[in-house]
Structure 1
Amino acid sequence: MSELPPLNGLRAFDAAGRRLSFRAAADELGVTQGAVAQHVRHLEAHLGVTLFDRVPKGLAFTTIGRVYHARIAAVFAELRATTADLKPEPDKVLISVTPTFAAKWLIPNLPRFTEAHPNIDLRIMATEKVSSFHSDGIDLAIRQGSPPFGAALQVTRLFKQELVAVAAPQLAGDGQEPLDPDILSGQPKIHDTHDLWPRYLASMGLHDAASRGLRLSQTSLAVDAAIAGQGVALVSRFLVAHDLEAGRLLEVGEAWTAGGNDFYLLMQRTAKHNGAVLDVVKWFTSHSDEGKWQPLGPESEHSND
Structure 2
Amino acid sequence: MPLPPLNALRAFEAAARHESFARAANELHVTQGAVSRHVKLLEEHLGLVLFRRLPQGIELTAPGRALLPELTASFERIARATRLVTDGDRELKVASPPTLAARWLVRRLSRFQELRPDMRVTLGIICDHGDFLRGGFDLGILDVQTDLNRPARLEAVPLRPEAMTPVCSPALLAGPNGPLRDPDDLAGRILLHPYVDRQDWLRWARAAGLPDHVALEGGYVFETLEMAIAAAIGGLGVAIADLHLIREELRSGALVAPFDLVSSHGTGYVLFSEKGRFDEPKIAAFRDWLLAEVASDGISPPSI
**Please, what TM-score do these two structures have when normalized by structure 2?**
0.56
Aligned partner of residue 94 in structure 1, secondary structure: strand
CA apart distance, 1:224: 1.4
Cross-structure match for 1:99:
98
Structure 1 residue 179, shift from structure 2 partner: 2.6
The separation in 1 between residues aligned to 2:264 and 2:158, in whole angstroms, is 16
2:125 maps to 126
CA pair 281-164 structure 1, distance change in 2 beyond 3 A: same
Q: Which letter does structure 2 place at the counterpart of 1:228?
A: G
Q: Distance in 2 between matches of 1:160 and 1:191?
A: 19
Q: Aligned residue pairs: how many?
A: 204
> How far, CA to CA, are the matches of 2:116 and 2:256 in structure 1?
33
Residue 185 in structure 1 maps to residue 184 in structure 2: no
Please say if 1:157 is aligned against 2:158. Answer: yes
How far 1:204 sits from its partner (Å)? Answer: 2.8
Q: 1:255 aligns to what SS in structure 2? A: coil
Check 1:274–1:203 CA distance in 2 against 1; reply closer, same or farther (3 A cut): closer
- Rounded to whole Å, the distance in 2 between the matches of 1:151 and 1:211 is 36
- How far is the alpha carbon of 1:165 from its aligned partner? 0.8
Which residue in the other structure is 2:266 paired with? 260
Q: Structure 1 residues 198 and 264, CA, compared in 2 at 3 Å: closer, same or farther?
A: closer
What SS does the corresponding residue of 1:138 show, helix, strand or coil? coil
Query: What secondary structure sits across from 2:129 in the alignment?
Result: coil
* Pair 243,91 (structure 1): closer, same or farther in 2 beyond 3 Å: farther
Q: What is the rounded CA distance, in whole Å, between the counterparts of 1:135 and 1:189 in structure 2?
A: 35
Q: Which residue of 2 aligns with 1:53?
A: none
Residues in 1 aligned to 2:243 and 2:237: alpha-carbon distance in whole angstroms: 17
Partner of 1:235: 241
**1:135 Cα deviation from its structure 2 partner:** 4.5
> Structure 2 stretches of 5 or more lacking a match?
1-86, 175-179
* Cα distance in 2 for residues equivalent to 1:163 and 1:129: 21
Q: Which amino acid aligns with 1:185?
A: A
Give SS of 1:250's match: coil
Please identify, of 110-119 and 191-200, the stretch whose mean Cα deviation from structure 2 is larger.
110-119
1:167 and 2:168 correspond = yes
Tell me, in whole angstroms, the C-alpha distance in 1 between the residues paired with 2:128 and 2:154: 18
The alignment partner of 2:210 has SS state of coil
Cα RMSD for the two superposed structures: 3.5
Identity %: 24
Which structure is higher in RCO with an 8 Å CA cutoff and minimum separation 6?
1
Structure 1 segment 1-305 matched on structure 2, within 5 A? 91-131=90-130, 135-146=134-145, 149=150, 152-172=153-173, 179-193=181-195, 194-195=197-198, 196-207=200-211, 208=214, 213-257=219-263, 259-271=265-277, 274-288=280-294, 289-290=299-300
1:271 is paired with a residue whose SS is: coil
Question: Partners of 1:253 and 1:152 in 2: how far apart?
Answer: 41
Residue segments in structure 1 that go unaligned for 5+ positions in a row: 1-87, 297-305
Amino acid at match of 1:93: L
Give the Å deviation of 1:269: 3.0
Check the 8 A contact 1:162/1:237 in 2, yes or no. yes
Distance apart, 1:152 and its partner CA: 4.5
Q: Using the alignment, how far apart are the partners of 1:118 and 1:247 within structure 2?
A: 37
* Closer/same/farther in 2, CA of residues 212 and 106 from structure 1, 3 Å limit: same
Q: Distance in 2 between matches of 1:189 and 1:112?
A: 37
The 1:117–1:253 alpha-carbon spacing in structure 2 relative to 1, beyond 3 Å, is: farther
In 2, the alpha carbon distance for the partners of 1:130 and 1:246 equals 36
Give the secondary-structure state (helix, strand or coil) at the position aligned to 1:102. Answer: helix
Q: Which has the higher helix share?
A: 2
Amino acid at match of 1:290: S
Distance in 2 (alpha carbons) for counterparts of 1:103 and 1:202: 29
Query: How far does residue 218 in structure 1 lie from its aligned partner after superposition?
Result: 1.6
Superposed structure 1 runs of 4+ greater than 6 Å apart: 209-212
Q: Which has the larger radius of gyration?
A: 1
Which TM-score applies when normalising by structure 1? 0.56
**Aligned-pair distance for 1:164?**
1.0
Name the amino acid aligned to 2:167: V
